[in-house]
Amino acid sequence: MSAAAVRVAQSAQVTKPFRKPPKIRKFLKRDENGLPVPHVRNLIVRDTHPCRLMDHYHTTLQDDLMYMTYNHTSGTPPQPRQIRLTYDPNDPYTKNRYNPPVGGSQLGKKPAPPTTAENVVRLEKIIIHSMLKEALTNRSNLLGLIAAFRALSGDTEGGGGRPSSEGVQVVKGKKNVGGWMRPGLPVGAQVELKGPKMYDFLGSLVEFVLPRIREFPGIVMPPASSTMNSPSGVAGVVSFGLPPEAMGYFPQIEVNLDSYPRSYGMHIHFVTNAVGIGAQNRARALVSGFQIPFARK
């Protein structure tokens, strides 16, 4: 045996292949389920890529909406008319009584605020919800719907360290309906999207889903003769529904479509900051700027 081989054999005998692991001096805390809690605090996942539709709103769409919806008023705006209440508020016998205004609810007559650069109509959140009647007999039927909404939104409760993220929520009944639905029973699921995830969902909707739906004329609008002085007309919310086959057109679902037991229909609500008379039209102008079509009856 050569001298080099002898030195290698001697070093192999001296050096041990494994060492004892270090002793754990401080154990991790455990939660109520007995699972260890890591020493990670305030973990926040930042945006990994620029949001194209968000940039489109701030660079182009916001200025166009300001020009289209600007309403110039000269002079001092008049003071709002004082609506008389049904009962005298100073009467001690009606102090704690429900006191509605004379003439019914004034919500549909609420005037729009003065147009400024700060209150240009913008998209605040998107709410997706779906009702599943089969969940009344067996709540496990909601698992497929919850998994589909998680894939669509990419949002989980507290995901990315954002406390405002609530993830997919189970919708429960609030009153008795015909004896088949009772308060507290799960009847569906919903998810609220804000920020970049909201615009990512909107991009998938207008680029992959709506063009592939057969005979989709657009979001049906009420007739031109209908009044806009209604609670829905001053709310600034645009809502429409999608059939069950439309869920398979989303790329997040289409890539793994066989993993879901069925397709689910859904309702989509675009919630904006528009309020007052004409808020519905301003909200439609904003949504149409994201290439969502509308059609009259």
Per domain, the residue ranges of the chain are 112-296
Beta bridge partners of 157: 166
* Alpha-carbon dihedral angle through residues 66, 68, 69, 73, given to the nearest 10 degrees: 90
pLDDT band with cut points at 50, 70 and 90 for residue 119 = confident
Residue 283 has pLDDT above 80, yes or no: yes
Q: What are phi and psi of 184, to 5 degrees?
A: 95, -10
Check pLDDT > 90 for residue 8: no
Domain 112-296: which topology? 50s Ribosomal Protein L5; Chain: A, (3.30.1440)
Q: In the prediction, which pLDDT does 12 show?
A: 52
pLDDT for position 7: 62
Instruction: Report the C-alpha gap between 220 and 42 in whole angstroms.
Output: 45
Confidence of residue 13 (pLDDT cuts 50, 70, 90): low
* Dihedral sign of CA atoms 51, 54, 58, 60 in order: positive
Residue 237 clears pLDDT 80, i.e. is over it: yes
Q: What is the pLDDT of residues 37-65, one digit of tens each?
A: 877 766 677 777 788 999 999 999 999 99
For residue 240, name the pLDDT band (cuts at 50, 70, 90). very high
Is residue 18 pLDDT above 80, yes or no?
Answer: no
User: How confident is the model over 126-135, as a mean pLDDT?
Assistant: 91
What is the pLDDT at residue 17? 61
Mean pLDDT score of the chain, rounded to an integer? 83
User: CB under 8 Å to 166, separation ≥6 — which residues?
Assistant: 157, 191, 192
Q: How far apart are CA 63 and CA 58, in angstroms?
A: 8
Q: State yes or no: pLDDT of 16 exceeds 60.
A: no
Q: What is the model's pLDDT at position 181?
A: 74
**Predicted local confidence at residue 42, as pLDDT:** 67
Quote the pLDDT of residue 105.
Answer: 72
163-212 pLDDT tens trace: 666 788 988 888 877 767 778 888 899 999 988 889 999 999 999 999 99
CA–CA gap between residue 194 and residue 163 (Å, rounded): 12
The contacts of residue 200 (CB under 8 Å, 6+ apart) are: 51, 154
Min mean pLDDT across 38-52, 75-89, 237-251 is at 38-52
More confident residue, 196 or 158: 196
For range 138-160, the mean pLDDT: 84
Give residue 1's pLDDT.
57
The pLDDT of residue 210: 93
